[in-house]
Structure 1
Amino acid sequence: MRLHTHEWGGGDRTALLVHGIQADHRTWRVIGPALAGRGYRVIAVDLRGHGASPRGEGATAAERYGPEQFAADLADTLPAGADLAIGHSMGALALWRAVEWLKPVRAVYSDPAFVYDRPGVGPEPFVSFKRLGTRQFITTMHPDWPAADVDAELAALAAWDSDTAVGLWAHPELSVLPGAPAVPSLVQLADPSLLVTPAEAAELGRRGFEVRTVRGAGHCLHRDDPAGFLAALDGWI
């Protein structure tokens, strides 16, 4: 499936940005221009079921959405051999599963949802957030977000197909830590990360990933602390 994309800049280097669940390319409204200012042509996607991209096809949510479908769409849409590819949360999961096709020079997995199927965790909170995600709810959750980020979150929620969450959890066999990285890879963690345990972070380090923590940032690292997010990419961008 060909995905909707949004671009910033026109530099000689290329950076790819892949958002997480419920979001779309607008989540990168600060980071996209910042990378463009560093000489990148920045391409951000809307994953299937998100933003302006098509909805998935099939009789069930499992057929319409899942890690392998998200990854295949990235391969269908994005150029191979980019200088940098960054995926956040579920977008990191999709990027990891697409990295063998995309072959970026460097990959960054930002608070990745590699292991999403855990006891007591399922799609229900995400599905209910489609209904509960009012402006007041979002500003209560993220009191430091500027109004533009709240606006972007509300717009993304309105465009989002919540079956993406149902489909994701229909594939528990794909909820695993990656093996050795296919390209030089950085894992950025929230402080603390609710998606990557300390033991998993240590194991990723043993498997060849560089692991860094963005101190004081929540799961949406690039929105909670854009400067800290960029600082944690030192040597990678």
Structure 2
Amino acid sequence: MKLNTQEWGTGDRVALLVHGIMSDHRTWRRVGPALAERGYRVIAVDLRGHGASPRGTGATPAERYGPAQYADDLVATLPTGAELAVGHSLGGLSLRWAVERLRPQRAVFSDPAWLFDRPGIDPELFVGFAARATAEQITAMNPRWERADVEVELATLAAWDPDSARSLASHHGYAGLPEAPAVPSLVQLADPSMLVGPEEAGLLRARGFEVRTVPGAGHTIHRDDFEGFMASLDGWI
């Protein structure tokens, strides 16, 4: 599937951005221009079922959405050999399964949803939240976000297919930590991360990943602490 994309900049280097669940390219509203200022041509996608990209096809949520399909879509849409690829949450899961084919020079996995089968992670919680979310609720949950990010969140929730969350329960075979990085890779973590705990972070370091934590940042690091997010990428961008 060819995905909807948004671009910033015309630089000689290429950066790829892949958003998390319930979001779309608009989540990168500050990151895209910031990378463009550093000489990148930045390409951000809307994953299937998100934003302006097509919805999946099939009889069940599992047939319409899954890590393998997200990864295939990235490969069908994005150029190979980019200098940088960044995936947040579900985007980090999708990028993991596409990275060997996309072959970026460097990959950044921002609080990746590699362990989405953890007990207590209920897809219906995402669905229920999206159905009733208000600006006040989003602000209360994310007090450090700028007002523009709250407005983006409301807009992206309205454009999101909830079946992309419901499908996750059928794809546990894609959950787990990578055994080794396919390309030089940074794992960037929230503080604390609900998806990658201290023990998993230690395993990733032992397997060859660089792991950095952004102190005090929530799961959507680039919106919770934009300056901390960018500083954490020092040496990778």
Q: Confirm or deny a common fold (TM above 0.5).
A: yes
Aligned 1:64-103 pairs, distance under 5 A: 64-103=64-103
Q: Which moves more between the two structures, 183-192 or 127-136?
A: 127-136
| Cα shift at 1:130 | 1.4
Question: Are residues 1:37 and 2:28 paired?
Answer: no
Equivalent residue, structure 1, for 2:26? 26
Contact 2:3 2:53 in 1 (8 A): yes
| Cα shift at 1:168 | 1.8
CA distance in 2, matches of 1:167, 1:146: 31
Equivalent residue, structure 1, for 2:205? 205
Contact 2:48 2:55 in 1 (8 A): yes
TM-align CA RMSD? 0.6
**Alpha-carbon deviations, 1:90-119, whole Å to 9, x = none?**
100000100011000000000010010012
Contact 2:13 2:39 in 1 (8 A): yes
**Alpha-carbon deviations, 1:155-185, whole Å to 9, x = none?**
0000000100011221112111111101000
Equivalent residue, structure 1, for 2:14? 14
Normalising by structure 1, report the TM-score.
0.99
**Alpha-carbon deviations, 1:46-72, whole Å to 9, x = none?**
000000000000000000001111000
Gaps of 5+ in 1: none
CA distance in 2, matches of 1:90, 1:169: 14
Gaps of 5+ in 2: none
Question: Are residues 1:235 and 2:231 paired?
Answer: no
CA distance in 2, matches of 1:143, 1:197: 23
Contact 2:71 2:95 in 1 (8 A): yes
Q: Secondary structure of 1:217's partner?
A: coil
Q: Which moves more between the two structures, 65-74 or 119-128?
A: 119-128
CA distance in 1, matches of 2:207, 2:68: 22
Aligned 1:213-224 pairs, distance under 5 A: 213-224=213-224
Q: Which moves more between the two structures, 79-88 or 121-130?
A: 121-130
Q: Which moves more between the two structures, 207-216 or 136-145?
A: 136-145
**Alpha-carbon deviations, 1:26-61, whole Å to 9, x = none?**
000000000000000000000000000000000000
Contact 2:144 2:225 in 1 (8 A): no
CA distance in 2, matches of 1:138, 1:184: 35
**Alpha-carbon deviations, 1:128-166, whole Å to 9, x = none?**
011121111101111221111011101000000010001
Equivalent residue, structure 1, for 2:148? 148
Q: Which moves more between the two structures, 164-173 or 226-235?
A: 164-173
Deviation beyond 3 Å, 4+ runs, structure 1: none
| Cα shift at 1:120 | 2.5
Q: Secondary structure of 2:203's partner?
A: helix
Q: Secondary structure of 2:204's partner?
A: helix
**Alpha-carbon deviations, 1:181-225, whole Å to 9, x = none?**
010000000000000011100000011000000011000100001
